[in-house]
A and B are shown apart, each in its own frame.
Chain A
Amino acid sequence: GQQVMQIPQYQHVQEGEDFTTYCNSSTTLSNIQWYKQRPGGHPVFLIQLVKSGEVKKQKRLTFQFGEAKKNSSLHITATQTTDVGTYFCAVNAGNNRKLIWGLGTSLAVNP
């Protein structure tokens, strides 16, 4: 079945440093979603990318969808302690709205 690979699994940064997590698929994706889960919390939707080469920004977060629609990245500029959590990418599996999830990247930020 369809799989999506996400790296790195963990990232530890100093506050103010940048952070990037990547997701890759062997097949062309119709779209990709990104979620954030704070420690002890539940996943919260961040964004959905649909178009080839799409770039979207939310304050310090930049989301990209590859030209071939097989990869995506989430980049955080100048991390803050509030960015701590696990970032997941997820892709649709068929037309039943079921999502296939990446393993997530856990971000720790040293103040």
Chain B
Amino acid sequence: GAVVSQHPSRVICKSGTSVKIECRSLDFQATTMFWYRQFPKKSLMLMATSNEGSKATYEQGVEKDKFLINHASLTLSTLTVTSAHPEDSSFYICSAPLGNNEQFFGPGTRLTVL
């Protein structure tokens, strides 16, 4: 199946710093990618839809200035958590759809903000 990579897998940062997470489709092109946030033992919460060459579409309640998304190429989307605070600590996962709507997920990034 298709492969989606995500980097870094784990990051610990100080409060107030910004963290960039990369999501890459390794063997297919993805004009659309999705960014999710997942709390322990909870479901996936869609944050935004990343659109190649255009602005991301954010879900209600997600601050676009806080979570910057850039989708500059057909294989790369980035999520930047700006001025991170402890409440931003979470598991962030990206996904890319291929073919008949099946979504391939990256391995996720565990962010811990001290």
Which of B12-20, B64-72, B77-85, B97-105 is the contact stretch?
A: B97-105
Q: Which residues of A contact B101 (CB under 8 A)?
A: 31, 33, 48, 92, 97
Q: Are B105 and A103 in contact (CB under 8 A)?
A: no
As a 0/1 sequence over residues 1 to 14 of chain B, the CB contacts with chain A under 8 angstroms (1 = contact) are 10000000000000
Choice from B42, B46, B104, B105 contacting A98 with Cβ under 8 Å: B46
The docked-state distance in angstroms from the alpha carbon of A10 to that of B112 is 27
Total A-B Cβ pairs within 8 A: 48
**Interface size of A in residues (CB-CB distance below 8 Å):** 19
Label chain B's interface by main secondary structure. Answer: strand
Q: Are A45 and B103 in contact (CB under 8 A)?
A: yes
Which of A18-26, A36-44, A67-75 is the contact stretch?
A: A36-44
A106 within 8 Å of B (CB atoms): yes
Give chain B interface residues in 52-77, CB to chain A under 8 Å: 57
Shortest A46–chain B CB gap in Å is: 10
Q: Across the interface, name the chain B residue whose C-beta is closest to A103.
A: B43
Q: Are B49 and A48 in contact (CB under 8 A)?
A: no
Q: Are A33 and B43 in contact (CB under 8 A)?
A: no
The docked-state distance in angstroms from the alpha carbon of A99 to that of B46 is 8
Q: Which residues of A contact B44 (CB under 8 A)?
A: 43, 88, 101
Known contacts being A31-B101, A48-B100, A48-B101, is A42 close to B106, with CB within 8 Å?
yes
Q: Are A42 and B46 in contact (CB under 8 A)?
A: no
Q: Which residues of B contact A33 (CB under 8 A)?
A: 101-103
Q: Which residues of A contact B57 (CB under 8 A)?
A: 96
Q: Are B107 and A101 in contact (CB under 8 A)?
A: no
As a 0/1 sequence over residues 85 to 111 of chain A, the CB contacts with chain B under 8 angstroms (1 = contact) are 000100010001111011110100000
B93 within 8 Å of A (CB atoms): yes
Can you list 17 A-B contacts with CB-CB less than 8 angstroms, sorted by A residue number?
Answer: A42-B93, A42-B106, A42-B107, A43-B93, A43-B95, A43-B105, A45-B1, A45-B102, A45-B103, A45-B104, A48-B101, A88-B44, A97-B101, A99-B46, A101-B43, A102-B43, A106-B41
